[in-house]
Amino acid sequence: MIKIEENVNLKPYNTFGLSESARYFCKIHTEDELLELLSTDLYKNERHLILGGGSNVLFINDFDGLIIKVDLKGISKREDGDTIELDVKSGEGWHEFVIYCVDNNWGGVENLSLIPGTVGAAPIQNIGAYGVEVKDVIKKVEGIDLLTSERRSFINEECLFGYRESIFKHDLKEKFFISSVTLTVSKQNHLMNTSYGAIKDTLNTMNVTTPTIKTISDAVIHIRKSKLPDPLVIGNAGSFFKNPTIALSQYELLKKQFPEIPGYHSVNQTVKVPAGWFIEQCNWKGKRINNVGVHEHQALVLVNFGNAKGEEIFQLAQNILSSVKEKFAITLTPEVNIIE
């Protein structure tokens, strides 16, 4: 039997630590509970939002509707030669899942250590870090069609993964409830990715000459802790903006005006440029405005110094967007899901 609560403070359910409230709130532990909820008048008549770990969301105001908190738990596995297939329920914590793999010496997700959020949210955003994206290990995504109440399954190719993109973030946004994700990891003959400069440097500092799944995970955790603030200490949602990809011709023009601009050549005559560099050049890094600001060590991270309202963080983001657009003619795109 599902339990519906009213006027629930969302502070424990979002990493920005915002005290916006939800008119209605419930936790879903099984697919059957979700199907029960879908049949209620409350679901049919009220605006609703599915919430995972709350690590990639910004509530601008109180949510006048129903928050559906994903709380499905459990992991099962199937072994096949050098690989293992893991069926992971969507409410499992992503980092906890990564550590579960690392502790078993299963390879493929170690570069994604310490990313906040749930397993169910990982494919929506196609989370990635240090040369790896979750699409690299996802076999399929399963869940419930919220329009028909039917169970559906999407193989990797059907998920339409892109840079921080997927079908679940666009075509199926608010139309599909992810209940489990199947990932394929290696149990031996690991293809470890240590090409990212920061990982190489950190492994050298750790005096690691022969990397393992564990040492790569440890290196990534060390890097992330040194660059990104802990949401338990100061409210934030990690990187607030995506790194923009621009035409090579536009990059070359910017390079003439700003010779120090970094860039990483991509496909089809495009270049990926770090959003944090643009923000820093506009003098936002480390800047504080009352209860909100930009983190002193990472310009991509907007923070709640305490008692901020979602509207304050949103306004800060808009001001950053405007200044970057004015100086560089670059339009940054929020990575965080903004809920009005």
Write the DSSP symbol of residue 226: H
Is 335 an active-site residue? yes
Q: Are 156 and 142 in contact (CB under 8 A)?
A: no
Residue in 133, 164, 180, 186 annotated catalytic:
164
Pairing relationship of beta strands 57-59 and 337-339 according to DSSP bridges: parallel
φ, ψ of residue 183 to 5 degrees: the values are: -120, 145
284-315 burial: b if 16+ Cβ within 10 Å, else e: bbebeeebbbbbeebbbbbbbeeebbbbbbbe
Q: Is 265 helix (H, G, I), strand (E, B) or coil?
A: strand
Helix boundaries (H) for 139-235? 197-205, 213-227
Cβ neighbours, 10 Å, residue 262: 12
Residue in 166, 217, 239, 312 annotated catalytic:
239
Report the catalytic residues: 164, 239, 335
